[in-house]
Amino acid sequence: MSGLSRYLAVLRLLGDERPHMTVPEIAQALNTPTSSVYRTVRELLADGFLEASVENKYRLGPAIIEFDRRVRLSDPLIRTGERFLPQLAEQVRVPCLVSLCRLYGETVMCIADFHHPAVDFVSSYERGRPMPLLRGATSKIILAYMPTRKLQRLLRTHLATEEEYEAVKAELAALRRVDYCITRGEVDPGLIGIAAPIHDPNLGINASITVIAKQSDLNGELAMQVLPFLVSTAKIINDLMSKSSIPGL
């Protein structure tokens, strides 16, 4: 395992379920010699990515927060798109959350969101949480705009049969024609997701903006009324993001 891979493997062990761990616990979880883990932990401590907890345990350190701030200040999608999320949530007219998500390896990750104050449900799309790439409106509309070769490789890896492969390909082609995706209960039971693409190959960004609400609140004609606001917001973000990447503009 390379140096960077070792560091990431340790950092990814820590979170809600395991807020802090000892070196032997880390070594056992990674099936790695304790001596190697000690060296990795020592280096992560020195740079602030880990910090000492109680009883010889270690937790994530403040350097993570520093880099989170750096991403928020420098990422063109966050800088351009985050400000439009509250406005879109108000236009929906029912309690909803609006998420800005992007491709992250073979997953999709929420990088910014806005919760309407009246929201009383919980969505699996939490900021910073990798989500499945083949399920839900947020992911499917991103897949629809993925480069053909990359998409084919991914589908061949994750789909078991030729029938599944052809069915997903046809579904994604249809989504690209209409420029939006609506799914119901595919990620969270009882919730509806309505997503539009944000796509800029020059910036290497393949993303989406999604309205998530209860199916009972946002059904039938009301769901379709959200589309003009959603699609126009996605287009505004895309246009502004593209212009900001052109020197002198």
The structural domains of the chain, ordered by start, are 3-65 (1.10.10.10), 75-244 (3.30.450.40)
Residue in the structure block whose two tokens are 């917001």:
233
State residue 247's pLDDT score: 46
Instruction: Read off the pLDDT of residues 159-193 as tens digits, 9 standing for 90 and up.
Output: 889 999 999 999 999 999 999 999 999 999 999 99
Instruction: Please give the average per-residue pLDDT across 35-51, as a whole number.
Output: 95
Least reliable range by pLDDT among 189-193, 203-207, 209-213: 203-207
Predicted TM-score (pTM) of the model is: 0.89
Is pLDDT at 246 greater than 70 in this prediction? no
